Structures are given as C-alpha cells and as structure tokens.
Amino acid sequence: QVQLVESGGGLVQAGGSLRLSCAASGRTFSNYVMGWFRQAPGKEREFVALITKSGSSTLYASSVKGRFTISRDSAKNTVYLQLTSLKPEDTAVYYCAASPITTMSRSGYDYWGQGTQVTVSS
C-alpha cells in the first residue's frame, strides 16, 4: 500500500509563491501516476495537475496552467507542486494522490494524502 504525506502549505499574499511536497512511502512510487487535487470549503475536490509515471508528461487544469508546475523526484520518492502567481481563489486544501493510470478523475486515484492548507490573502 502507498502512503502519501503532503507538506509546504501556508499563508501567502496574492502574487506570492509556495512549493508543496508529497512524500511517498514504499518502493512502488514509479508505478503510479501522481496527481494534485484541491478542495475549497463547500466545493467539490477538483483536479489541479498530474505527472506520468516516468515524469515525461504533465497535465494541468486550465485554471492553473502557466502558474503551477508539477514535478517528481524518483530518488526522493517525492512529487512537488510549485505554485506561483497565487490568487485568492487558489485557497484550498491541496491533496496529493496516486493512480495506476493517467486520468484527471479523482475516482481513478487509489491513494490520497491528508492534505495541506494553502491560503492566499488579498
């Protein structure tokens, strides 16, 4: 079983930056597509970004494309989400997740972290 732990969230002003980290336990990290999702209070959990098993391809939600960057470091069993040009509407709990296939649907992800809070003030 895969265990995921997010970190790096915090409070920033609009226009600022954060880097979120997701540390995976076990030795199966490279067998999974890794995704980031976010959920604001009262809203559905939504897709943010994914990176393929090899790290050769990435996919972003239109709302974050050009501002966020997903990457993975196989040696550290860690996936990152670099957040730049943050907006108040980016405020949410951000979740890391692992899927056996490339998909933007949250139902395709079998393992989830506990989430890390990102708050962007005006």
CA–CA dist 35, 48 (Å, integer): 7
Name every residue whose Cβ is closer than 8 Å to that of residue 8 and which is 6 or more positions away in sequence.
Answer: 18, 19, 20, 21, 116
Give 45-81 pLDDT, tens digit per residue. Answer: 999 999 999 999 999 999 999 999 999 999 999 999 9
Q: Which helix H or strand E contains 46, and what residues bound it?
A: strand 46-51
89, pLDDT greater than 80: yes
CA–CA dist 37, 122 (Å, integer): 22
Angle at 32 between CA 84 and CA 108, to 5 degrees: 85
Residue 26's pLDDT is what? 77
Give 23-43 pLDDT, tens digit per residue. Answer: 999 767 889 999 999 999 999
Mean pLDDT of 101-106: 97
